[in-house]
Structure 1
Amino acid sequence: MDPTELGADVQFRTLIEGVKDYAIFMLDTEGRVTTWNAGAQQINGYSAEEVIGTHFSRFYPPEALARNWPAVELAEARRQGRFEDDGWRVRKDGTRFWANVIITAIRDARGELRGFSKITRDLTERKRQEESLRQSEERFRMLVEGVKDYAIFMLDPEGRVTTWNAGAQQIKGYSAEEVIGTHFSRFYPPEALARNWPETVLASARRHGRFEDEGWRVRKDGSKFWASVVVTAIRGSDGELRGFSKITRDLTERKRLEQIESNARQMEEFVAMLAHELRNPLASISNATAALRPEGEVSPEVAWAAGVMERQVGQLVRLVDDLLDVSRITRGKIALECMRVDLADIVTRAVEASRAWIDAREQVLEVRLPAEPIFVEGDLARLTQVVTNLLHNAAKFTPLRGSIWLTLEADGARATLRVRDNGVGISPTLLPQVFDLFTQGDRSLDRAEGGLGIGLTIVRRLIELHGGTARAHSDGPGRGSEFIVELPRPAHPVAPPTRRAPAERPVDRLCVLVVDDNEDSAESMAMLLRRLGHEAHAAFDGASAIEMATRLRPDLVLLDIGMPGMTGHEVARALRSTPGLTETSLFAMTGYGQESDRRLTQEAGFDEHLVKPVSVEVLKRHVADIAARARARGAKEV
């Protein structure tokens, strides 16, 4: 035998015999133990004298023996060349441990079976702790000749490769002839070599006994892969360093998935921040527009300009909301608040929300509702959003003075909503993708209102969350479109709720403090409140807000969250602990509108969470509620 091969063989045996984390031993063709290493004695509890010559089935629990599992394992290894299994095994003292087992068929040059190699590792602790299982599985599994999932090889004390297994060739691309005798630094990228990382790895393993690392490595073809690496110092009985064992696993796919998840998380955070930054100027414009809304007789030009501003601000708000919604929906972050709702009521709400947009195009909307209520289990706000999006889509792709038809009907099991128009229609090629994210139709100059292509995606995702379906139909370009939404109905009919006509309530003059570091936003909201007949003051930072609230004792504080120095949450907690302000209503008025933001404002002591820009109707409703509660308290005191 060549002396080089003999030396490599001795080194390899030294590696096997010195490993204590793995039981590595040989079986003959019948499954009797023929070799036994220190790791086998430590894991299984038997000495070599006790176990050599006995059948390896002694390590299996009764239920595995009852199904003849040891024989199955050998048969599979004999047929396929390799068998891997996780399962319970039994130690000498009768205790059980969870083992990862790899059995490899050993054949001579003629292909004749000479026996089996068996590698066992105790993974009991991993079984108990699944999270540490994943991390440990990535770092600790020793593979020897015939195992292809790991690169396992030996280095001499200087870092030159002395052995090379099939897994090393598969992962790194080099054959044994190409790599043995060369320095292992050839597997590292230039940036790692520039900082002498291979030398650092060996020095740390030499000093501490082992070294673990994750990082980029280079294959023979120059491509990079993300590797998990364990380097262990191998010493003889005299303590002299004989070399190193090096185990490498390709974790590129995991790294790729982690990067995708990180990118998605960053994008969600970016969209949320973008929405916040857009909502601040939108709030100022919306407030100023509402404050300048013409009263009485004005020129047609002024009325037209005010209408344009209101409609365009509304359109911008819709775009911002759609961006946030599609981000949350695609990541599964939408939580429905389901209750029994009347679809006719939802249609009425959606029509009211869309009326200004449709009227501006002088379009005719015909709504057909059944005489009886149609109840479904659903989220009132989200279903209203669905119908509004469909009406908005119909209006956008229908020409001036065109027609839109909305029909609601039901049978015993399902409710069906149809929105039809006589607009531009949908081409046969686009129709199958019309609900896909960012899908657009014709973007020619005469269709400049293409939007972002996310409104219909939101429709389909929300309807699917409700257990329903959404589909589209069109006979082609220029022949209009129809969108059909179907929702399941409850198994048992529900009596319609008793409705009381809202009582007319007088408008009380309230004292309101508006707090926002964006001065335009604060001043425009204060101006709007004064136009509505209330006393309004503006503060631009947390300290001023606390001082003014203590002095003014307002009925309502509209408080921004994202302020420098002292955040809105900190101001809210301070106000809640200030004597004399226990009856003050505290509303968050912010550009942050995700569920996590709402939870934080609730925990800080806010009564309501309003997302900028706040509409005049919403503001009037909340102010009226506060005034009504104040009157009720006054009546009790009298």
Structure 2
Amino acid sequence: MPRLTPSPAVATRLLRGSALTVVVGVVYLVTAHFSTFWASDGRTGTPIFPGVGAALAALILFGRGYWPAIFMARLLAFWLAGTARTPWLMPAIALANTAAVYAGAYAIERWGRLDPALTRLRDVLWLAVGGLIAASVGATIGVSAMEAVGEVASGAYAATWLRWWMGSIGGVLVVTSLALAWGAGQPWPRRGRDWGWLLACVAATSAVSAWVFFGTPTALARTWLVFPVLLWSSLAFGVRGATLALLPATLIGVAGTTMGVGVLGSSFEPDVRYVLLQQFVTAASFTCLVLAVVADERRGKDALRDREHRLHLALAAARSFGFEVDLETGAVTRTPECAEILGLPAGLSDRGTVQSYLAHVHEDDRARVARTTGPMSIRQPTVRLTYRFVRPDGRVVHLDETCTGVFDATGQLTRLVGVTMDVTDRWRVEQEREELLTRERAARQEAEQATLLRDEFLGTVSHELRTPLNAILGWAQILQSGPRSSEALQSGLATIARNARLQTQLIDDLLDLSRMSAGKLRLDPQTVDLASVVHDAVLAVTPAAAARSLRLQCVAAEGARVHGDPDRLQQVCWNLLVNAVKFTEPGGAVRVEVVSQGAQHCIRVSDTGAGIAPHFLPHVFDRFRQADGSTTRRHSGLGIGLALVRQIVEMHGGTVRADSRGEGLGATFTVCMPALRAPASAGTGTAPEAPSGLAAPLRTAQAPLRVLVVDDDEDAREIAAQFLRSHGADVATAESADEGLAVLCDYRPDVLVADVGMPGVDGYAFIRAVRALPSGQARTPAVAMTALVRDDDRRRALEAGFQAHLPKPITREGLIAVVTRLSPARHPA
């Protein structure tokens, strides 16, 4: 057959039960031996029976199932004492002792619901009741058995029964209370000061007891001198102090009385002195226990009040409140902190019902809160949930609730207790954090998109700048390779000029975009006739339209005057026309017209080209946006021309609109400006006319105009000199500011043309040095010819001492015009 081995848990329980059985038996054996040693006549009893107290404490602490250990230990005690008695009397007395403590333990457990730590007055009273029951049962059975065998005469039955009964009660009050108080309850504080005072009390009690029960006999009242020190221990240290002090007082009293010394032992007959000793021990122990437990309860109430105060402070600091729900009645009790959090009226803040509370829970959370008890069980009695509570003033608070269920002996859920915390501020912080994270993610995506657009834009810029540059460099190499026919030469030069102008326009668009982004795009408003603006723009794009075999129609009657910047308006019209020419297939048509619509004048540019897809139409004026942004797109461009159109038009107070019936059906762009109703002034017209001296030679009254060109770039310096010489000027050049100052002093030019960005001494320092020369040379008119073309660069050049700002790349017409304007012929001394 297979061997059956117990599980580890069963083995542990068996081992523990066996060990406790041995311990209970040994303890009872030792205390019973003391009883035998203290017996007044060696047979009938003892003044104090500590065995009853020890046995009752064991059954209360460990359970009534250990009664056999008490029975066997009592028999063993008889055998060890060598008492010669009737054979069946010793089992009868052992049975009496066992039945006594079993009956007392049963009564205490069944009706008393005793706290073994003796923390309440009812615990002490029920311990006394249990002692009375145990003493009565044991005395009755034991004395009756002794009378049956003749050890107790019939006339001494009552006195013997009383002595047994009093001894058992004394044992319960002294030994049982000591074992329960120190064997259960909270650990004793480890502070040395508390232990020192407790030991001092015990020592004082022992000293006074020894003086009373072993000293010279005097009046009987001397025995009550032990009470003050016993009360000291009881009131100062509670039940544990009282039981610890009672032990030496009882031991010393029993020892002295049994030995026949002291105030009781030497003054009375044995029967009388034992009765007096029993009365003293019973009265002293019961009085001390009652006073001690009352003192403990008072200290406990004070400590509880202090803990409740601290709890309320903690709840208030944490914006929390505690609650208790009686599930049988539905009543809800809450701590006062809920009034501020929930904002409920006085009658509902600290008490109410479950239904009245649920009525204020947010409707989306109400059903979930009502099901709180659903997942609770004895093994998992705690649940945690968050929900919203609607205050009477309409505010919504967010609550975090921890709720614990309390179950009865049958496993039925009877109560709920818990803590509810106001987490509204934390919820707001979480929401703000989520919003910050959302904004951060959005910002990161925008930054990534901006980086992607920048990279795409830079690639597009590189492509758009390299395309005309390729044509310029290619034709330059072709023309340099050898003689060409006149027709090929003119074609190549025209291609170079056209691509150079295209590259210049791309750079200007980029600069305008930069100004627009920085809010520095400036206008020079004046009265402008839109017909002149449109005609000039048409003239500018006619060559490109002719090259693509497009029909270019212009319908613009004069008189459509607006208030604006003629150059910027011409840029708007030119961009729209260039856009139309670029997206119209060869053989198509481009039409521009000026129309009046009420209080507005409009420029309408329409074409028969590629049209605009409906999904892209809302984004047609966005910067860097192109309908086809792939590397295989058919039409070049940076995607900023139309963005500049919208910005410039809106700065003039106008509007621009794009219309298209779809891809392949052409497009129409309409720019509308507020009409100027006031009569035109003498200066009305288009952009200022070119100076009349442009085509005339550059001369003073007596000789050719002398111009000094200072530039560190040899090509730029030579181009400017050639432009000037082609119009009859006498030109000197210098490649640095220092050389320019030396030439200036010897050459004495009529006009000075200087670059700004030169190595060593720049143009700003150069012009300041010129203005510091003797008066005649210091007043030489000067032109800043520079690639620094921002508005701030222009302002800085004028502030440094230049009279004009000419951006690179320069044109012959532009250079001649500005030099003519500054020449002494226009500004005589």
CA contact (8 A) 1:346 1:384 kept: yes
CA contact (8 A) 1:556 1:585 kept: yes
Match of 1:507 among 690, 693, 697: 697
| Aligned residue in 1 for 2:590 | 404
Q: 1:255 to 1:400 in 2, by over 3 A?
A: closer
Match of 2:825 among 615, 631, 636: 631
Q: 1:353 to 1:587 in 2, by over 3 A?
A: farther
CA contact (8 A) 1:443 1:450 kept: no
Q: 1:615 to 1:352 in 2, by over 3 A?
A: farther
Which whole-Å CA distance do the structure 2 matches of 1:519 and 1:76 have between them?
A: 83
Q: Give the secondary structure class of the aligned counterpart of 1:472.
A: strand
| Aligned residue in 2 for 1:620 | 816
Deviation digits for residues 437-465 of structure 1 (CA, Å, limit 9, x no counterpart): 12224468996432111111111121112
| Aligned residue in 2 for 1:584 | 780
CA contact (8 A) 1:507 1:624 kept: no
Letter in 2 for 1:462: I
> Cα offset for 1:146?
6.6
What TM-score comes out, normalization by structure 1 length?
A: 0.54
| Aligned residue in 1 for 2:505 | 318
> Cα offset for 1:613?
0.5
Task: Give identity over the alignment, percent.
Answer: 35
Which whole-Å CA distance do the structure 2 matches of 1:255 and 1:573 have between them?
A: 51
CA contact (8 A) 2:690 2:817 kept: no
Q: Give the secondary structure class of the aligned counterpart of 1:581.
A: helix
Which whole-Å CA distance do the structure 2 matches of 1:624 and 1:421 have between them?
A: 41
Letter in 1 for 2:655: T
Match of 2:548 among 358, 361, 372: 361
Which whole-Å CA distance do the structure 1 matches of 2:690 and 2:719 have between them?
A: 30
| Aligned residue in 2 for 1:425 | 611
Q: 1:633 to 1:172 in 2, by over 3 A?
A: closer
| Aligned residue in 2 for 1:155 | none
> Cα offset for 1:391?
1.2
CA contact (8 A) 1:555 1:583 kept: no
1:517 and 2:712 aligned: yes
Q: 1:632 to 1:566 in 2, by over 3 A?
A: closer
CA contact (8 A) 1:441 1:450 kept: no
Which whole-Å CA distance do the structure 2 matches of 1:482 and 1:594 have between them?
A: 33
1:80 and 2:276 aligned: no
Query: What stretches of structure 1 of length at least 5 have no aligned partner?
Result: 14-25, 31-74, 83-103, 110-144, 149-164, 174-224, 227-249
> Cα offset for 1:387?
0.5
CA contact (8 A) 1:350 1:388 kept: yes
Q: 1:548 to 1:471 in 2, by over 3 A?
A: same
> Cα offset for 1:600?
1.1
> Cα offset for 1:314?
0.7
> Cα offset for 1:408?
0.7
Which whole-Å CA distance do the structure 2 matches of 1:633 and 1:76 have between them?
A: 85
| Aligned residue in 2 for 1:151 | none
- Name the stretch that deviates more: 452-461 or 488-497: 488-497
Count of residues paired in the alignment = 416
Where is the helix percentage greater, Structure 1 or Structure 2?
A: 2
CA contact (8 A) 2:537 2:573 kept: yes
> What root-mean-square deviation, in Å, do the aligned CA atoms of Structure 1 and Structure 2 show?
5.0
Q: Give the secondary structure class of the aligned counterpart of 1:596.
A: helix
Deviation digits for residues 279-304 of structure 1 (CA, Å, limit 9, x no counterpart): 9x99xx89x99xx99xxx96100000
- 1:8-87 equivalence runs, <5 A: 79-80=394-395
Which whole-Å CA distance do the structure 2 matches of 1:581 and 1:6 have between them?
A: 93
| Aligned residue in 2 for 1:575 | 770
> Cα offset for 1:328?
2.3
CA contact (8 A) 1:561 1:588 kept: yes
Q: Give the secondary structure class of the aligned counterpart of 2:825.
A: helix
Which whole-Å CA distance do the structure 1 matches of 2:689 and 2:568 have between them?
A: 25
| Aligned residue in 1 for 2:640 | 454
- 1:19-168 equivalence runs, <5 A: 79-80=394-395, 148=425
| Aligned residue in 1 for 2:649 | 463
CA contact (8 A) 1:557 1:585 kept: yes
Q: Which has the higher contact order (CA 8 A, sep 6+)?
A: 1
Which whole-Å CA distance do the structure 2 matches of 1:169 and 1:446 have between them?
A: 48
Which whole-Å CA distance do the structure 2 matches of 1:595 and 1:491 have between them?
A: 32
| Aligned residue in 2 for 1:132 | none
Which whole-Å CA distance do the structure 1 matches of 2:430 and 2:551 have between them?
A: 72
| Aligned residue in 1 for 2:793 | 597
> Cα offset for 1:380?
1.6
1:350 and 2:537 aligned: yes
Letter in 1 for 2:537: A
1:377 and 2:563 aligned: yes
1:440 and 2:631 aligned: no
Q: 1:540 to 1:146 in 2, by over 3 A?
A: farther
Which whole-Å CA distance do the structure 2 matches of 1:254 and 1:582 have between them?
A: 60
CA contact (8 A) 2:527 2:684 kept: no
| Aligned residue in 1 for 2:671 | 485
Which whole-Å CA distance do the structure 1 matches of 2:711 and 2:657 have between them?
A: 44
Q: 1:554 to 1:301 in 2, by over 3 A?
A: same
Which whole-Å CA distance do the structure 1 matches of 2:584 and 2:429 have between them?
A: 64
| Aligned residue in 1 for 2:154 | none
Which whole-Å CA distance do the structure 1 matches of 2:391 and 2:763 have between them?
A: 66
What TM-score comes out, normalization by structure 2 length?
A: 0.43
> Cα offset for 1:377?
1.4
Match of 2:573 among 384, 387, 394: 387
> Cα offset for 1:472?
1.8
Deviation digits for residues 24-67 of structure 1 (CA, Å, limit 9, x no counterpart): xx9x979xxxxxxxxxxxxxxxxxxxxxxxxxxxxxxxxxxxxx
Deviation digits for residues 91-141 of structure 1 (CA, Å, limit 9, x no counterpart): xxxxxxxxxxxxx99x999xxxxxxxxxxxxxxxxxxxxxxxxxxxxxxxx
1:333 and 2:520 aligned: yes
| Aligned residue in 2 for 1:562 | 757
Which whole-Å CA distance do the structure 2 matches of 1:503 and 1:491 have between them?
A: 30
Deviation digits for residues 582-609 of structure 1 (CA, Å, limit 9, x no counterpart): 4422111222222221221121111111
- 1:147-296 equivalence runs, <5 A: 148=425
> Cα offset for 1:468?
1.2
Deviation digits for residues 570-590 of structure 1 (CA, Å, limit 9, x no counterpart): 112111222232442211122
Letter in 2 for 1:485: V
Which whole-Å CA distance do the structure 1 matches of 2:827 and 2:638 have between them?
A: 49
> Cα offset for 1:348?
2.5
Q: 1:403 to 1:593 in 2, by over 3 A?
A: same
Match of 2:722 among 527, 534, 539: 527
Letter in 2 for 1:381: D
Where is the strand percentage greater, Structure 1 or Structure 2?
A: 1
Match of 2:746 among 514, 538, 551: 551
| Aligned residue in 1 for 2:662 | 476
Say which one has the larger Rg: 2
CA contact (8 A) 2:706 2:730 kept: yes
> Cα offset for 1:254?
13
Deviation digits for residues 51-87 of structure 1 (CA, Å, limit 9, x no counterpart): xxxxxxxxxxxxxxxxxxxxxxxx99975379xxxxx
Which whole-Å CA distance do the structure 2 matches of 1:168 and 1:444 have between them?
A: 45
Letter in 1 for 2:553: E
Query: What stretches of structure 2 of length at least 5 have no aligned partner?
Result: 1-303, 318-336, 342-389, 404-421, 699-703
Q: Give the secondary structure class of the aligned counterpart of 1:507.
A: coil
CA contact (8 A) 2:784 2:806 kept: yes
Deviation digits for residues 500-549 of structure 1 (CA, Å, limit 9, x no counterpart): 99785432232222223333222332233333332333333222222222
> Cα offset for 1:420?
1.8
Q: 1:551 to 1:479 in 2, by over 3 A?
A: same
